[in-house]
Chain A
Amino acid sequence: AQSVTQPDIHITVSEGASLELRCNYSYGATPYLFWYVQSPGQGLQLLLKYFSGDTLVQGIKGFEAEFKRSQSSFNLRKPSVHWSDAAEYFCAVGRGSTLGRLYFGRGTQLTVWP
């Protein structure tokens, strides 16, 4: 069965510091991986996605993520965090090439100190 683990429930960083949010997945075949961001009272916005090819993918708002098959990980990174990045971040995995159910992790809440 598919599952997604985000081991950090809450992360606090200072503005301008680098950020890495961890995500590990469990899926037998090649996964389709996503990172979403959710601001308070808002829906989920897609940051980036990985299907195949280059294992380092670039997304919106200066985010990037690296797929590491050997570690079953898809960690999200940003070199310099802005106060507006404070939100909840969700990693998700889908299966197959046909869009359907996404399996989400529990989310990581990011707090940014000025």
Chain B
Amino acid sequence: EAGVAQSPRYKIIEKRQSVAFWCNPISGHATLYWYQQILGQGPKLLIQFQNNGVVDDSQLPKDRFSAERLKGVDSTLKIQPAKLEDSAVYLCASSLRTEMFYGYTFGSGTRLTVV
């Protein structure tokens, strides 16, 4: 089966610019996650979708970050305006079912550098 697809792989922008990341989960996976991984740290959850509804966005900086999952498939994560501290790898993951046993599958991530 195809994995979780993310694009772009790399992005360099200046601070105060906007940027968007795209994620296509594994076909049939209802749950989708966006994680932020800052260099030297473990991934941190930004937002979790179940189909096209938001389950958990408690750690999403809503003044500058937004995410959507139209039609319960693809998802887009946007940052506007970007700050230097947003430099990180943004990982998308998806899972087939909600039971913890199934775990989830990560994409390769988008590395964002804000200069």
Query: Taking beta carbons and an 8 Å cutoff, which residues of A are in contact with B?
Result: 4, 32, 34, 36, 41-46, 49, 51, 90, 92, 94, 96-102, 104-107
Contact = CB atoms under 8 A, between A and B. Distances in A.
B39 to A, nearest CB: 10
Contacts of A42: 108-109
Interface string B94-115: 0101111111111111000000
Nearest to A88: B42
B13 interface: no
Given A32-B100, A43-B109, A107 B42 contact: yes
Interface stretch (B43-51, B64-72, B76-84): B43-51
By secondary structure, the B interface counts as mixed
Given A4-B42, A90-B42, A43 B104 contact: no
22 contacts: A36-B106, A41-B108, A42-B109, A43-B91, A43-B93, A43-B109, A44-B93, A44-B106, A49-B103, A90-B42, A96-B100, A97-B99, A97-B101, A98-B100, A99-B31, A99-B98, A100-B48, A101-B48, A104-B44, A106-B40, A107-B41, A107-B42
**A-B complex: 10 closest residue pairs judged by Cβ atoms:** A104-B42, A43-B106, A44-B106, A101-B45, A43-B108, A32-B100, A99-B100, A104-B43, A99-B98, A43-B107
Given A45-B106, A106-B42, 8 more contacts: A97-B99, A97-B101, A99-B104, A100-B48, A100-B56, A101-B45, A104-B43, A106-B40
B20 interface: no
Contacts of B95: 99
